[in-house]
Amino acid sequence: MSKQTSLILFKPDAVENKNVGSVLARFEAEGFSIRGMKMMQLDNAILTEHYAHVAELPFFPDIAAFMSKSPVIALALEGDNAISRVRDLLGPTNSKEAPAGTIRGDFGTDMMINVCHASDGEETAAAELQRFFQDGELF
């Protein structure tokens, strides 16, 4: 097993529905450690960078509107094989397909309103952590 750090973004639905504590408790119960955490309001520049792979597609404005409608919480979570383990805990991206017992199955609604974003690989995690955390914000 290798130690990894993954970026988690608690999306507006998690913040507005007061599910952050419950979800964070699940991550901690699995042995993950918090390396950094902060609340922030996402603007168009960071959303365009973060969603560069879909920024030119017709549904991007809907994503940007949703992700900027309220603050999000950025979390740097560390643990053995954190990237794949976090994604397993979350369940499928589409909450409608996520089984009960997964975070998205228990708290999500659909493909966009799905509680959390999580890094999907080590390179992605490194870029995302740098995007959302400045020097000195990870411990």
Contact 11, 108 (CB under 8 A): no
37, 47, 117, 119: the catalytic one is 117
Local confidence band at 132 (pLDDT 50, 70, 90 cut-offs): very high
Distance from CA of residue 34 to its chain's centroid?
Answer: 13
| Average pLDDT in the chain | 97
Is residue 12 within a helix (H) or strand (E), and if so which, with residue range? helix 12-16
What confidence tens digit (pLDDT) does each residue in 78-101 have?
999 999 999 999 999 999 999 999
Across 35-40, average pLDDT: 98
Res 1: pLDDT = 76
Domain 3-132 coded CATH 3.30.70.141: yes
Across 4-10, average pLDDT: 98
The answer to whether 117 is a known catalytic residue is yes
What confidence tens digit (pLDDT) does each residue in 59-84 have?
999 999 999 999 999 999 999 999 99
Pick from 59, 138, 120: which is nearest to 84 by CA? 120
Is residue 39 within a helix (H) or strand (E), and if so which, with residue range? strand 33-40
Pick from 6, 35, 8: which is nearest to 103 by CA? 8
3-class DSSP state of 22 = helix
pTM for the predicted model, two decimal places: 0.95
Dist. CA 86–CA 68, nearest whole Å: 24
